[in-house]
Amino acid sequence: MRDTLSSLGLEATNPGAFGKGVVTSAGPTLISSSPIDGAELGRIVCADVAAYEQVVADAHEVFLEWRKVPAPERGNLVRKIGNALRDSKHSLGKLVSLEMGKILPEGEGEVQEAIDIADFAVGLSRQLYGKSMHSERRHHRMYEQWHPLGVIGVITAFNFPAAVWAWNSMIAAVCGDTVVWKPSELTPLTAVAINSICRSVAKETGFEGVFSLVVGDGPDLGKRIASDRRVPCVSATGSCRMGREVAKAVGDRLGRSILELGGNNAVIVMDDADMELVMPGVLFGAVGTAGQRCTTIRRALVHEKIYDTFVERMTGAYRQIKIGNPLEKGVLMGPLVSQTAVEAYKAAIGRVAKEGGSILYGGNVVSGLASPLYVEPTIVRAHGAMELVKEETFAPILYVIPFKGVDEAIALNNGVPQGLSSAIFTRNITIAERFLSAAGSDCGIANVNIGTSGAEIGGAFGGEKDTGGGRESGSDSWKQYMRRQTTTINYGDDAPLAQGVVFG
């Protein structure tokens, strides 16, 4: 563990406030400990209010210069950051696993996602295209151009402590913005390590202040970002509760917010589904990251004709899942992130029978492991009217709900407040297309014959309804990090007005 930490330049105690330089901070000291065994990983001196003020002022000052650097040159810095992340992929991936408990291949996969989005952003730096339009007025030209926006506040959740920062920061940097990152209080060391990699690369260009960081021991600095007029755009990832508060604060000052909030994702398994596709898709989707992905499969909506077969095969597969130290080979499920998460798991399990469901597999905290944070992946026989299945419990609980026909299945899929990811397993193209149609899934992501999680960076990522409506990562998500300017140029000798208006 010590080797991993020192290879990433982490000390026993680390500063948690970085603007153009290290910002002196007298905030509380936050201890980062591993959910794997409770061991202390390191300490971080949090940003106090004065440090926060300085970091945001610095980020704004750096923005005033960074916005003038040609976008492809900005892309060049992001390319170097992507390469530095490549060099540290293993150590960073291991730190992600140590700090939040996901298995090593997923920790490394998360860093790979950060590398991928850096590559994407490099290409994007030469493609920040605006449209040109035909003016209705003679000898006039119209076009749209995209300018850098300013300081972007990035508030991140514990479960993707590297990738979500990268989705925002790599894109924001090529767009000419600077970033102030407020990471989760549960994963501050990963943030310190990533920030120091970025800063050491960016230092060569004199622009290390493009990437800044304020670590806090709770949500307070996030609240400050949300109401800070110097931050024109706030990208916030986390619970729906947090998103509501951020949306209100940013909306109050008419700022822009990108909200990536909770999910409650379902897969529909039709009676013609290929079980060889269903099994790995649902298993990874429901159990991966110990059920702590925003895109985790929480509800399996299964055609009544194959309900029993599905349950039998799934419980058989669950029996083989090895729970334990996520750094060990063969382990598929590590611990939950905190005792609070374990309590939420227990509370949900406690409601199952009261709401008319029954536990088919699991339902217990695992004893005898290195910390009290390991739980059994759980399968519940459930029905669509249960209140429990409408909520997101951030733990590996899969509610298996029967249905009779595709219309009922789509209604169940849509019958929850959240709208992040969804999927259908079928070989019937008509049914698949119905699921994907305007009257089908109401989610931001709708897949066919793959699960709900493990999105690629090339597509815009996000969801509807209580998931917040934000889109990050690929496609044209970059537009949110820039301001649009519509320009009309008159190269003639007359001054015609639009709509043919004659004035005077």
Give the residues lining the site for ligand NAD (CB under 6 A). 155-160, 164, 182, 184-185, 219, 222-223, 226, 237-239, 242, 245-246, 260-263, 294, 392, 394, 420, 463, 467
The dihedrals phi and psi of 312, each to the nearest 5 degrees, come to -65, -45
CB of 276 vs ligand NAD, minimal distance in Å: 29
User: Residue 478 Cβ, how far from ligand NAD at the closest point, in Å?
Assistant: 17
> Is residue 361 exposed (0-12), middle (13-18) or buried (19+ Cβ within 10 Å)?
middle
Phi-psi region of 165 (alpha: psi -120 to 50; beta: other; left: phi over 0): alpha
171 close to 117: Cβ distance less than 8 angstroms: yes
Q: Pick between residue 176 and residue 232 the one whose CB is nearest to ligand NAD.
A: 232
Identity of the residue, 160 or 435, whose beta carbon is nearer to ligand NAD in the bound complex: 160
In whole angstroms, how close is the CB of 240 to ligand NAD at the nearest point?
7
- φ/ψ (deg, to 5) at 486: -100, 130
SS3 state at 167:
helix
Residue from 391, 386, 366 nearest 298 by CA: 391
Query: Phi and psi of 330, rounded to 5°?
Result: 90, -20
Report yes or no: 257 and 279 within 8 Å, Cβ to Cβ. Answer: no
Closer CB to ligand NAD, residue 250 or residue 273? 250
Nearest to 232 by CA among 486, 482, 484, 485: 482
Give yes or no for a contact between 381 and 362, defined as CB atoms under 8 angstroms apart: no
Which CB atom, from 90 or from 244, has the smaller least distance to ligand NAD? 244
Q: Which is nearer to ligand NAD, 238 or 357 (CB)?
A: 238
CB of 102 to ligand NAD, least distance (A): 12
Comparing CA positions, the residue from 250, 140, 142 lying closest to residue 495 is 140
Rounded to the nearest 5 degrees, what angle is found at the Cα of 39, between the Cα atoms of 38 and 45?
A: 105
Inter-axis angle of helices 406-414 and 429-436, nearest 10: 30
Q: How far is the CB of 444 from ligand NAD (least distance, A)?
A: 8
Yes or no: say if 44 and 10 are a contact pair by the CB < 8 Å rule.
Answer: no
Could you tell me the smallest distance in angstroms from the CB atom of residue 44 to ligand NAD?
Answer: 14
As measured in angstroms, the least distance from the Cβ of 66 to ligand NAD is 25
Closest distance to ligand NAD from the beta carbon of 341 (Å): 8
Three-class secondary structure of residue 446 per DSSP: strand
Q: Which is nearer to ligand NAD, 266 or 311 (CB)?
A: 266
The residue ranges of DSSP E strands in 117-242, in sequence order, are 132-134, 140-148, 151-155, 178-182, 211-214, 233-237
Instruction: Give the pair of three-digit tokens for residue 456.
Output: 């690629």
Our CB check for ligand NAD shows the closer of 238 and 363 to be 238
In the complex, the smallest distance separating the C-beta of residue 292 from ligand NAD, rounded to whole angstroms, is 7
Compute the distance between CA of residue 379 and CA of residue 313 in angstroms, rounded to an integer: 12
8 A C-beta contact, residue 117 and residue 457? yes
- Distance between CA atoms of residues 54 and 57, nearest Å: 5
Residues designated as active site: 260, 294
Which residue number places its CB atom closest to ligand NAD? 222
From the number of C-beta atoms within 10 Å of its C-beta (0-12, 13-18, 19+), residue 70 rates as exposed
Instruction: Kindly list the distances between the CA atom of residue 441 and the CA atoms of 204, 291, 406, 408, 434, in Å, as whole numbers in the listed order.
Output: 48, 22, 11, 12, 9
Q: What is the tally of helices (H) and strands (E) in the chain?
A: 14, 23
Pick the closer one to ligand NAD by CB: 150 or 463. 463
Residue 60 or 223: the one with the smaller Cβ distance to ligand NAD is: 223
